């Protein structure tokens, strides 16, 4: 969301100028999402290191079966796209109960169907499916380490560990995820503002401690900076392209100071 308004080439260029190896490509990036032509991405495939399946307006455990089916279809399309680009990681979300209530068995049955079909297809395509731990909302599935571990074991998945989501649930819960480090393929890093948005991790002692723990545990997978410009205080929409590049550069330097 940090470079939401830019075309794919400009997004790649920003990551390069800021010193990054590449990006986790969000399939719903507008410039690509308009017609979803894989040819648009091929010039940048060496810089697309992982993919994130679509999530806007989608939900694998929706009470509306057609929404569930569309979510599954779009996930399978993302896996297929990853294969075409020669990428090995696709991140998915577990979704949430449609009503703002604790999830019930029907919701978990829907999730298990979604993960069963998606994981089987990912293995056919030679792609590793990574389940991201969810936001700590009352109706979200897979927001705890125990839930994530259960699904990962059941469907032979990997994990995208979102530190922001875990810490907002509780610092103790975030610590529990560290026991699953061997299953992690991707780590999303950000701080959080009063609305829970993904903002700079700089200055957050809890985020720094989790990152330090990951380093000490020998984590050597991908680390993805995740930012939302709407959370950047009074700046938000006033941030121009070069300002965003500079923010990304500072974030990278900070992470290097911790992770080496």
Q: What domain range is 42 assigned to?
A: 8-259
Query: Does residue 110 form part of some domain?
Result: yes
Query: Domain for residue 14, yes or no?
Result: yes
Q: 72: Cβ–Cβ under 8 A, 6 or more apart, which residues?
A: 60, 114, 117, 118
Q: Does 232 reside within a domain?
A: yes
Please check whether residue 26 is in contact with residue 52, taking contact to mean a CB–CB distance below 8 angstroms: yes
Cβ-based neighbour number of residue 34 at 10 Å: 9
Q: What DSSP character marks residue 238?
A: G
What are the C-alpha distances in Å from 259 to residues 160, 208, 227? 17, 10, 19
**Measured between alpha carbons, how far apart are the two ends of the chain, in Å?**
26
**254 contacts: CB under 8 Å, gap ≥ 6:** 201, 202
**From CA 85, how far away is CA 40, in angstroms rounded?**
11
CATH number, domain at 74? Answer: 3.20.20.150
pLDDT of residue 237: 57
Assess if residue 196 is contained within a domain: yes
The contacts of residue 11 (CB under 8 Å, 6+ apart) are: 3, 23, 29
Cα separation of 152 and 131, whole Å? 7
Of all helices (H) and strands (E), which one includes residue 119? helix 105-125
Say if 193 falls within a structural domain. Answer: yes
Task: Give domain status of residue 72, yes or no.
Answer: yes
CA angle 231, 31, 119 (to 5 degrees): 85
Total domains, the chain: 1
Q: Are 194 and 158 in contact (CB under 8 A)?
A: no
Tell me the C-alpha distance between 46 and 195, whole Å: 35
Residue 3 covered by a domain: no
Listing DSSP states for 29-61 in one string gives -HHHHTT--GGGTGGGTTTEEEEE---TT--TT
pLDDT value, residue 236: 56
Question: pLDDT truncated to tens, each residue of the chain (260 aa)?
Answer: 899 999 999 999 999 999 999 999 999 999 999 999 999 999 999 999 999 999 999 999 999 999 999 999 999 999 999 999 999 999 999 999 999 999 999 999 999 999 999 999 999 999 999 999 999 999 999 999 999 999 999 999 999 999 999 999 999 999 999 999 999 999 999 999 988 899 999 999 999 999 999 999 999 999 999 999 888 765 555 789 999 999 999 999 999 999 98
Residue at 170 is within a domain: yes
């Amino acid at each position: 969301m940090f470079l939401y308004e830019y075309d794919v080439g400009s997004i790649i260029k920003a990551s390069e100028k800021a010193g990054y190896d590449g990006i986790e490509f969000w399939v719903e990036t507008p410039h690509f999402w308009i017609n979803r032509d894989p040819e648009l991405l091929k010039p940048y495939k060496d810089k697309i290191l992982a993919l994130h399946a679509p999530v806007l307006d989608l939900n694998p455990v929706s009470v509306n079966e057609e929404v569930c089916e569309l979510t599954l279809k779009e996930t399978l399309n993302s896996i297929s796209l990853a294969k075409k680009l020669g990428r090995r990681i696709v991140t998915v979300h577990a979704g949430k109960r449609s009503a703002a209530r604790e999830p019930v068995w029907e919701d978990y049955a829907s999730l298990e169907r979604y993960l069963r079909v998606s994981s089987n297809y990912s293995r056919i395509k030679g792609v590793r499916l990574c389940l991201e731990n969810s936001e700590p909302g009352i109706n979200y599935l897979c927001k705890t380490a125990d839930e994530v571990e259960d699904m990962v074991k059941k469907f032979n998945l990997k994990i995208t560990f979102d530190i922001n989501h875990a810490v907002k649930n509780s610092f103790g819960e975030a610590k529990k995820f560290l026991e699953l480090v061997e299953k992690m393929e991707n780590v999303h890093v950000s701080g959080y503002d009063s609305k829970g948005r993904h903002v700079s991790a700089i200055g957050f002692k809890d985020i720094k401690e989790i990152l330090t723990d990951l380093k000490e545990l020998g984590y050597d997978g991908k680390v993805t900076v995740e930012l939302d410009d709407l959370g950047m205080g009074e700046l938000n929409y006033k941030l121009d392209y070069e300002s965003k590049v500079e923010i990304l550069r500072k974030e990278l330097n900070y992470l290097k100071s911790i992770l080496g």
